[in-house]
Structure 1
Amino acid sequence: MGGKISMAAFFVVLAANVLQSTYGATYKVGGSTGWRVPTNIDFYEDWADDKVFVVGDALVFNFTTGKHNVAVVTEAAYEACNTTDTITIICDGPARITLNRTGNFYFICAVPGHCSGGQKLRVEVRNGNRHAAAPAPGPMPNSKPPSAATPSPTPHGTSSPPRPSATPRGTSSPPPPSATPPGTSSPPPPSAATPGTPSATGRGTSSPPPEANSASLLVATLYPILYLSIALVLLC
């Protein structure tokens, strides 16, 4: 329930501001003091300093009829407090005056001695909205643009470092280790005749030839003798 009331109050204030901007605002000159001879000669000037008046606004002068009045005058009459050279004068209070053009408006009280005592007002009227738009915020000091996602290119004249080779330049891969140390020869394989037993003959000696068959030797010896005997028989 409270939220609905707050929302309704917000829209009422918003509508009032819109109507005020459209149809003009109403100002009570001097506030609660009204329109009279002030104790401070600059009172009405100070009252108007912090206000922005636009075309369509209205000023209400609250005063007692017969004691005061309000007169619209020129700038020269305002500065000199000339009460005889007036544009318009209203003697019945309260008086309501609409600001219907841009520029300066000058008001005084035409009762003798009142203007010189400070009962005078000057307002400047502008054309347009009284609520000036706030300037857009400037960039933050020392702000930096977001860094790019892509890496920066390689500087001109430079190249990417070469890939390291598997083998240093100028050197060759070492030879594979041999089964037998250099300068030494592998031992001779064991003799085929007697596998599993080491050879009895040392290096540099030859094995003796195998013994000849006795029968073959006998035949080889007898054949020449037989042939010689046959030859002798035939010759005889």
Structure 2
Amino acid sequence: MAARMVAALVCMVVMLRLSEAAVYKVGDSAGWTTIANVDYKQWASTKTFHIGDTVLFEYNPQFHNVMRVTHTMYKNCNSSKPISTFTTGNDTITLTNHGHHFFFCGVPGHCLAGQKLDIHVLHPASSTPLTEQPSSSPPPSTTTIPSAGVPGPSPSLATSLPSVVAAGVAAVVALLVSLAFADFAS
């Protein structure tokens, strides 16, 4: 019985951590664009990004793209060798490492016009530092990325996903109920 209770508690902790994940649409209602004069630096400064959060780049793929780049490339708007390039117009990227993640639009002139984003993912408070994973170019629809590992500005508030919370709570309750009934049957 003790082992089952420990398993239930572990499941509850995992589900509660997942319930804290947030989805951020880059640029909010304007999306990823040069037309709306979005200040992406200001936009990012109003968010607190954590490991497990997702950023969504929505844009017209005929006019824009998303390139993940190094800090040096970001500062210079150099699109010659991006870490990865996304072109679907609806790119979802899950943040899997703490540190900075640098993005810009690789269409000539767009980065210089301000279509660039530095996302700072906070270091988990209760764990040891994570090591970076090797860089790769997974499919653009749903992607996980390591950080660029460069310090930068500190953001603030995050938005939770109520559906994930509800699903997590339901899973934990179902597990606890099944454990309770299993103990009665024994």
Please report the TM-score for the alignment, with normalisation by the length of structure 2. 0.56
Separation (CA, whole Å) in 2 of partners of 1:20 and 1:30: 23
- Which residue of the partner structure matches residue 46 of structure 1? 42
Task: Tell me: higher relative CO, structure 1 or 2? Use CA pairs within 8 A at least 6 residues apart.
Answer: 2
- Which residue of the partner structure matches residue 95 of structure 1? 91
Q: 1:28 aligns with which of 25, 29, 34?
A: 25
2:72 matches 1:76: yes
Of stretches 121-130 and 75-84 in structure 1, the one that deviates more from structure 2 is 121-130
Contact kept in structure 1, 2:18 and 2:52, CA below 8 Å: no
**Letter matched to residue 118 of structure 1:** G
Structure 2: state its 5+ residue gaps.
1-14, 126-155, 158-186
| Alpha-carbon shift at residue 95 of structure 1 (Å) | 0.5
- Which residue of the partner structure matches residue 34 of structure 2? 37
* Higher fraction of strand: 2
**Letter matched to residue 121 of structure 1:** L
Question: Which has more radius of gyration?
Answer: 1
**Letter matched to residue 62 of structure 2:** G
Q: Deviations over 1:178-222 (max 9, x none)?
A: xxxxxxxxxxxxxxxxxxxxxxxxxxxxxxxxxxxxxxxxxxxxx
Q: Deviations over 1:84-133 (max 9, x none)?
A: 120000111111111110100000000111000000000110133788xx
Separation (CA, whole Å) in 2 of partners of 1:108 and 1:52: 20
**Letter matched to residue 46 of structure 1:** Q
Q: 1:111 aligns with which of 97, 103, 107?
A: 107
Contact kept in structure 1, 2:34 and 2:113, CA below 8 Å: yes
| Alpha-carbon shift at residue 68 of structure 1 (Å) | 0.6
1:166-177 residue pairs with structure 2 within 5 A? none
* Higher fraction of helix: 2
Separation (CA, whole Å) in 2 of partners of 1:17 and 1:80: 40
SS at match of 1:48: helix
Give the number of aligned pairs: 113
SS at match of 1:123: strand
Q: 1:63 aligns with which of 43, 56, 59?
A: 59
Separation (CA, whole Å) in 2 of partners of 1:101 and 1:127: 8
Contact kept in structure 1, 2:30 and 2:36, CA below 8 Å: no
Contact kept in structure 1, 2:40 and 2:114, CA below 8 Å: yes
